[in-house]
Structure 1
Amino acid sequence: MNSRKALLRAYKEEKPQPGVYAVRCGRTGQAFVGGTENVATRQSGVWFSLKLGSHPNARLQGAWNAHGETAFAFEVLETIDAEGLEPKGRALRLADRRKHWCETLNAVDLVR
């Protein structure tokens, strides 16, 4: 019981880490880049929506439907030091870094 309480306390105390991530299709080489307030939990959310067929990015959903889950990998590209940033500043930094990675990887921006 104590270990469960300790795990729960550690989870609650963990600060979200904003960052930029890529979802890559190994069969086509396509990359899809997104930004999030918490990279540690983002993959489960992306995979969940893809499995339901309800991901908001039609190109990613189409690739997932065509090639299946095993063709995809999730990669954290960069974490953002958000210390001292207001929410708007954090969002602007994430957008800037997401744009950088889209250009670097010639990737689809998941926000658009």
Structure 2
Amino acid sequence: MTTSTPARSRAEQKREYREQPRRAGIYLIRNTVSGKLLLGSSMNLQGPLNRHRFMLSIGGHPNRALQADWQRLGPDAFEFTIADVVTPQDEEAGPQEDELWLLEQVWIEQTSPFGERGYNLHPRIRDA
């Protein structure tokens, strides 16, 4: 008779996901063919990256230029990366909105992700 470890319940999986530390920071979706990028930020980096990847895969991304390039070039032509993570000044305080705002400004200035260089349509890059 063999014994096996019982599978984790869905409730346990959800609890583990909720308990994972949330990282705030900057992410990039880069077209490796053209070099164009979508710059974004979030207080929880995994959420927007998953959402962008899903929306592109079903053909429903709100950024039409990004969606068109995805359809034309395929998913292998895109990189999804976490570019920078907020390091709180006070380790116990957790990520700070002001620190993320400053990081956003640095990345916007460094990458200029608008027009020919990127997919961003306006300077507000933070996901809700």
Structure number with higher helix proportion: 1
User: Pick from 99, 103, 106: which aligns with 1:97?
Assistant: 103
Structure with bigger strand share is 1
Shift of 1:68: 1.4
Match of 1:77 in 2: 83
> Contact conserved, 1:19 with 1:37, CA < 8 A, in 2?
yes
Q: Which runs of 5+ in 1 are unaligned?
A: none
Match 2:61 to one of 41, 55, 60: 55
- Number of residue-to-residue matches in the alignment: 109
Change (3 A) 1:67 1:42: same
Which runs of 5 or more structure 2 residues have no equivalent in the other structure? 123-128
Q: Is the 8 A contact 1:23 1:73 kept in 2?
A: yes
How far residue 16 of structure 1 moved from its aligned partner, in angstroms, is: 1.3
Alignment of 1:1-112 (within 5 A): 4=8, 9-81=15-87, 84=93, 90=97, 92-107=98-113, 108=118, 110=120, 112=122
TM-score (ref. length: structure 2):
0.66
Aligned-residue sequence identity (percent) comes to: 25
1:65-102 CA distance string (max 9 Å, x none): 2211110001111111356379xx61x54343223213
TM-score (norm 1): 0.73
d(CA) in 1 for partners of 2:60 and 2:76?
18
